[in-house]
Chain A
Amino acid sequence: MNYSIAFRTIIIKEIHRFIRIWPQTLLPPAITTALYFLIFGKLIGGRIGTIHGASYMDYIVPGIILMSVISHAYANVVSSFYSTKFQRNIEELLVAPVPNWVILGGYVGGGIVRGVCVGAVVALISLLFADFSVKNTWITLSVMLMTATLFALAGFINAVLAESFDDISIIPNFVLTPLSYLGGVFYSVEMLPGIWQHISMGNPILYMINAFRYGMIGVTDVDIQLAFLMTAGFIVILTLFSLFLLHKGIGIKN
């Protein structure tokens, strides 16, 4: 059995899906981030000065790029897989000889591609407002890919467990967005009062954003190795949990 064809089929279907609806998937982040850069970077940032030696505009660019990667990798998988469940065409995959890891890989792969595409769009927009060069390409790309993978997996689990369209908007609205905003996108964690610094250290997104910022502009609030280990650990845990859900048929089989 040639599983690479099945994998390619799922991932190409997923890429076609978000490209076909580009006004909903690729255009909004371009407009939103342009507004972030204009308002926070230009208008407010000019009064803030520098953080860790970087201009405020340069400081917020990595966080905004990674925040877009996180939300779009998640959104792609959660909406696509839940729609597949809702329309019952998940049955096409369940009846076919497609192993669970291929299903998971195909959907997560689609989420990663969308996350990276949106990240690239936001990075291009940022060049209109900031002038920066990437300090460490390997760290930058690997953090972006690992973060996209992690949140695509989270989106997959959300979609599997969701029983209504409300269920697929709760986590993005009430968990993901607050954690992203509080993950040091717009500020250094050192600027927070003592207790809030400790609380912020419990936010995994803080580590990813700082690792990405380190890769782009060489500035971080956290240990980079710890950030990599934590992200890799979460990827392993969520992958195993996703495969467990698929194996048991929870949320998708009767």
Chain B
Amino acid sequence: MNALSLRNLRKTYNNGFEALKGIDLDVEAGDFFALLGPNGAGKSTAIGIISSLVTETAGTVSIFGHDLKRERAMAKSCIGLVPQEINFNQFDTVKNILLNQAGYYGTPRKLALQRTEYCLKQMDLWDKRNAVSRRLSGGMKRRVMIARAMVHAPKLLILDEPTAGVDIEIRRSMWQLMRDVNQQGTTIILTTHYLEEAESLCRNIAIIDQGRIVENSDMTSLLARLHVDHFVLDLAEPLAAAPVIEGFLVERVSDKVLNVAVPKEIGLNQLFSQLSVHHIKVTSMKNKSNRLEQLFLDLIDAKASGAHP
């Protein structure tokens, strides 16, 4: 069963801007799905329509088989939304924010209290339950938003840049948390500008650009399409000039650092053989950029120039 189905979804704002130009998308139940795209591509508009914050111009949205127009209450009750910006009542306590949210979804008080305790403990916020929310740190506020979205046990959790602006330590802990939530059966749709995050967490991916879906596949086959990997090599000895190695593009960044573009069909073994021939010792190496990031840029560039990636 699909957790989410979009058909010919269109949105034209009052100023004439066409944010969505008829997108079709299916997200399977249980999936951890990435919805990516550059700023202004239409991601937030799509999420706004799915979560009823934006009114669509045309098209249909179906959530776990419930049409968002015809079975509005059923469809909405399946969704939990973590928006990009902090939008809870900053004057309320953490516990009340969750209890109110549960109430809006018709959760009886006793169950709401149990769910609130469970979600706050899962987010490591139970000790802060009586704190006024505006006094929390940025990372804690982000976790309150996730706890709030989960308090009514939604089947579909939409995370719109949930880790924006949080430090790497909290981001990693939030990744683990999202994995746990997904493993417990909740379908997750994630939008993020941290492509490393999407690559690490998501199984399937759609890339949206200028209001159209330009890519929609599973992460593994998408990454397999990347023909060239870029590496940064740290050298043991300084080099005066970049060596010329057939089949590879080598750039000298500094005395002891090289950038190398490695075609997948050739591979790293041959690179290292050639480096040995040139008496170049490598002390360490790393990917120049995240693989998905490279692919993402290739796709967006290709669409902009009208070529195939």
Residues on A lying within 8 angstroms of B by beta carbon are 1-3, 5-6, 8-10, 13, 84, 87-89, 91-99, 249, 253-254
- Check: B108 CB closer than 8 A to any chain A CB: yes
| B106–A97 CB distance below 8 A | yes
Chain B: minimal CB distance from A12 (Å): 8
| A89–B89 CB distance below 8 A | yes
- Check: B272 CB closer than 8 A to any chain A CB: no
Q: Which residues of B contact A98 (CB under 8 A)?
A: 104
CA distance A97 to B74 in the complex (A): 8
CA distance A93 to B88 in the complex (A): 11
Number of residue pairs across A and B with beta carbons under 8 Å?
79
| A87–B89 CB distance below 8 A | yes
Within 8 Å by CB of A6, from B81, B87, B106, lies B106
- Check: B73 CB closer than 8 A to any chain A CB: yes
CA distance A6 to B105 in the complex (A): 7
30 A–B contacts, CB within 8 A, in A order:
A1-B73, A1-B77, A1-B106, A5-B106, A5-B107, A5-B109, A6-B105, A6-B106, A9-B99, A9-B100, A9-B104, A87-B87, A87-B90, A88-B85, A89-B88, A89-B89, A91-B53, A91-B83, A92-B87, A92-B101, A95-B51, A95-B76, A96-B104, A96-B105, A97-B72, A97-B76, A97-B104, A97-B105, A98-B104, A99-B73
Chain B: minimal CB distance from A163 (Å): 15
Chain B: minimal CB distance from A247 (Å): 10
By beta carbon, the residue of chain B nearest A98 is: B104
Which B208-240 residues sit within 8 Å CB-CB of chain A? none
Chain B: minimal CB distance from A129 (Å): 36
| B52–A3 CB distance below 8 A | no
| B101–A253 CB distance below 8 A | no
Q: Which residues of B contact A88 (CB under 8 A)?
A: 83, 85, 87
CA distance A70 to B106 in the complex (A): 32
| B79–A95 CB distance below 8 A | yes
CA distance A249 to B83 in the complex (A): 19
- Check: B247 CB closer than 8 A to any chain A CB: no
Q: Which residues of A contact B72 (CB under 8 A)?
A: 97
CA distance A92 to B82 in the complex (A): 10
Chain A: minimal CB distance from B135 (Å): 15
Extra contacts, 11 of them, besides A5-B109, A87-B90, A88-B87 (Cβ < 8 A), are A5-B106, A9-B99, A88-B83, A92-B88, A92-B101, A93-B104, A96-B101, A96-B104, A97-B73, A97-B77, A97-B106
- Check: B22 CB closer than 8 A to any chain A CB: no
| B108–A5 CB distance below 8 A | yes
Q: Which residues of A contact B108 (CB under 8 A)?
A: 2, 5
Q: Which residues of A contact B96 (CB under 8 A)?
A: 13
By beta carbon, the residue of chain B nearest A90 is: B87
Chain B: minimal CB distance from A34 (Å): 30
Chain A: minimal CB distance from B52 (Å): 6
CA distance A6 to B102 in the complex (A): 9
| A6–B104 CB distance below 8 A | yes
- Check: B54 CB closer than 8 A to any chain A CB: yes
